[in-house]
Structure 1
Amino acid sequence: MDCLNSLGVRPSAALSNAGLTWQDLFDSRRMVGFSIFRRFVAYGIQSTGEPALGLMAGSMLQPYHTPVGIGAVTGKTLGQGLEFLSQHASLIFGSFRFRLENGSRWSTLEVKPLRHLCETHIFVIQSIVGSHCRLLEAMLGRPADELVVGLPYPRPPGDGGHCLRYVRKVEFDGDCLRLQMPVELLRLPCASEDAEVFAEASKVCERVDAELQDGAFVQRVRRFLLQRLVSNPGASELASDLGISARTLVRRLAEAGVSYADIKEDLRKTHATWYLQHTELSIEEIASQLGYSDPHNFGRKFKHWYRVAPSKMRRSLRMELHDCPPTAL
């Protein structure tokens, strides 16, 4: 937002174009969908006319704003800071995998996308480069003039000068993003070295990593259960399908703050409304799809969830669908 504002673009206009509000940005429970992100990036580049918008946005990063940045800049040496960054950078850029390899001449941080990013690919790559430059500057206490950047896209029209505003040496047409520093620099002390702060940042990042792993396990349980919901499997049966014991299933879900019953009820609740709105299945057939042998039990549960009967909810949802035109992406 600061980047857009500095280029004369009102952030509120960019948010509105993407279908967002300021409140959405402060709502930690809301995940911004990729289609919204695509609209936001497209509007930003079009309205600013700036081909290096991602580089500018990344370079405006304040390293001390995240535990990842704090750990990187307070390491004992540049090498320790880069190692920390490679281990935890995915907490910031979750769609990428980071791997650090130290050779005889170069320390190379490879960055590869985990999914297709469509037309936002260059913007996000630039953002990573810009933020990396900013972190290196904070670690060294000076500009990282030795940095060599290998970009995974062709040289843009002209001389590619917008990249050279931030990096002295740039190479194009690589198979992935590569950020290289001479290996002899790894022994240099970090300008903001602080063992106590580094240790605390490490604990925070490790805890967040563990929470994300728990989240991935919960999503795996949800996916397996959804595929078998019609048969209403118990915890022991699903655990067997997952290749773990029922005790392990219950324990790991408890560590993530949920229970098997919570997950099953949430799947039934959300998919009940989807079936009502998007299919012609009868109430009895929907009950069966959700694992209810008795449709009356489903009806009572549905009223408990939504304070309205399924048939009435279906009429209401169909009216909303008819009244709201599709949104162009």
Structure 2
Amino acid sequence: MTLSDVVMLERERQLCHYSCHIRPLVHNCMHDPLHIHQPTLPVAYPQLVLEIVSERGFNPSQVLKLAQLPADILANTGGRITPMQYTQITACAAQLLNDQGLGMEVGLRMRPTAHGFLGYAVMTCANLHEALLLSLRFMRLRQRHIQTAYTREQGTTVITLRESHDFGPVRHFFLEGMLIGMARSSQFLLNTDSLFGELWFDYPQPDYFERYQDRLPCVKFEMPSVQLRTPSCYLDQPLRMADAIASRQAVQQCERELAEIGNEEDFLTNLRELLRDQIDTGPGLDRVAASLFISGRTLKRRLHANGTSFQRLLDDVRFGESKRLMRNPALSLQQIAFRLGYGDPANFTRAFRKWAGCSPSEFRARLRF
């Protein structure tokens, strides 16, 4: 066995260990309040990650296999994947490449065209200020898990990023990829020779930073927040691809996408409320679909399009209701099981152990009435 074989075997062992680490993140997210299982991200994002993997001498299919995703998941160039699937791909790619700074590389290669219609709308704006406002307006189409705030401070335009939830081991990837990607897109829009402005991160300088330092603008670590800081003088500069008609058409498409997202979120909210109302009867898919005046097949299709399923949503509601009911000491676990639609309390116990990682009695013992 050669030295390279030993290295690859060790790398695969580490990857298997890492896959076991992120797998619970996938299976424990049966409920989806953060929309991490809804297909909102263009496949251009993970395709860029796999392009880097290929350039560094690895087979991209290995990443998808380790992430436990279908080999053809990125085949449709106009398709979408879920944030969780993107997280799986990026995490496994970083491990395969042994490069936790992969987010920096992705950000440096990011182009507005990767964002679909939103990218075209931004590229055809009149100036950088208009493009910035448009990006923030429709940010929800591409990134729901990082909020952006836009302010001006004495000649400096400041964009601050804040996560809506804990990103865990992939926090650096997403913050670096997004912040550097925004700086790279600004450079592309203005057709300048180099990146400009300052990048702030709120964590210590990572070991991999030196590998990318020469390709980045001024970067500061251990700052109060995560920010892109740009001289305001750039905002009024015209964009090289400015086209009012093309921009208006792209914006209209973005507005349609945003309306669809809103409609689907309302649909899922109404469906959850309906399941809560019928929870004690053990609601079935066809009966619930009839209550919504749609067919069971249509309900399945819409849930699949939102990255979830009827059983996952039902489990989510049951889990939430079970935790609420267990705070009432007057109710026995058997009564709670019946209220959740379980004819046999043993089935409730098995389901709850799968959701919470412990039995209902163990969970209840931790509560303070």
TM-score range (shorter-chain normalised) is 0.5 to 0.7
Instruction: State the shift of 1:146 in Å.
Output: 2.6
Matched, 1:60 2:123: no
Q: Report what 2:74 is aligned to.
A: 25
Q: Report what 1:133 is aligned to.
A: 183
Instruction: State the shift of 1:39 in Å.
Output: 4.2
Matched, 1:186 2:235: yes
Matched, 1:151 2:201: yes
Instruction: State the shift of 1:37 in Å.
Output: 4.5
Q: Could you tell me which of 183, 192, 199 is aligned with 2:248? A: 199
Q: Report what 2:143 is aligned to.
A: 93
Q: Report what 1:262 is aligned to.
A: 294
Instruction: State the shift of 1:262 in Å.
Output: 3.4
The secondary structure found in structure 1 opposite 2:265 is helix
Q: Rg larger in 1 or in 2? A: 1
Q: How many residues align?
A: 261
Alpha-carbon contact 1:3-1:60 (below 8 Å) kept: no
Q: Report what 1:142 is aligned to.
A: 192
Q: Which amino acid aligns with 2:166?
A: H
Q: Deviations over 1:135-170 (max 9, x none)?
A: 112211114543211113221248x32442332211
Instruction: State the shift of 1:187 in Å.
Output: 1.0
Q: Could you tell me which of 320, 341, 349 is aligned with 1:289? A: 341
Q: Which amino acid aligns with 2:90?
A: V
How high is the TM-score relative to the length of structure 2?
A: 0.61
Taking a change above 3 Å as real, the CA distance of residues 227 and 259 of structure 1, as seen in their structure-2 partners, is closer
Alpha-carbon contact 2:65-2:71 (below 8 Å) kept: no
Q: Which amino acid aligns with 1:203?
A: Q
Q: Deviations over 1:119-142 (max 9, x none)?
A: 011111121133213311221111
Q: In structure 2, what is the Cα distance between the partners aligned to 1:194 and 1:29?
A: 26
Q: Deviations over 1:22-66 (max 9, x none)?
A: 3223468885473x5454333212221223211212332332241
How high is the TM-score relative to the length of structure 1?
A: 0.67
Q: Which amino acid aligns with 2:293?
A: A
Q: In structure 1, what is the Cα distance between the partners aligned to 2:254 and 2:310?
A: 32
Alpha-carbon contact 2:272-2:313 (below 8 Å) kept: no
Matched, 1:121 2:171: yes
Which 5+ residue runs of structure 1 have no aligned equivalent? 233-257, 279-284, 296-313, 315-329
- Residues 2-13 of structure 1 correspond to what in structure 2 (within 5 A)? 2-13=51-62
Instruction: State the shift of 1:259 in Å.
Output: 7.6
Deviates more, 1:67-76 or 1:167-176: 167-176
Instruction: State the shift of 1:108 in Å.
Output: 1.1
State percent identity of aligned pairs: 17
Q: Report what 1:172 is aligned to.
A: 221
Q: Deviations over 1:86-126 (max 9, x none)?
A: 11223222321122223331111122111211101111112
Q: Report what 1:322 is aligned to.
A: none
Q: Could you tell me which of 210, 214, 222 is aligned with 2:263? A: 214
Q: Which amino acid aligns with 2:128?
A: L
Taking a change above 3 Å as real, the CA distance of residues 12 and 198 of structure 1, as seen in their structure-2 partners, is same
Tell me the C-alpha RMSD between the 2 structures. Answer: 3.8
Taking a change above 3 Å as real, the CA distance of residues 10 and 130 of structure 1, as seen in their structure-2 partners, is farther
- Residues 244-259 of structure 1 correspond to what in structure 2 (within 5 A)? none
Q: In structure 1, what is the Cα distance between the partners aligned to 2:52 and 2:127?
A: 31
Q: Report what 2:24 is aligned to.
A: none
Instruction: State the shift of 1:19 in Å.
Output: 0.8
Q: Report what 2:154 is aligned to.
A: 104
Instruction: State the shift of 1:18 in Å.
Output: 0.7
Alpha-carbon contact 1:67-1:201 (below 8 Å) kept: yes
Matched, 1:70 2:102: no
Instruction: State the shift of 1:190 in Å.
Output: 1.0
Deviates more, 1:116-125 or 1:45-54: 45-54
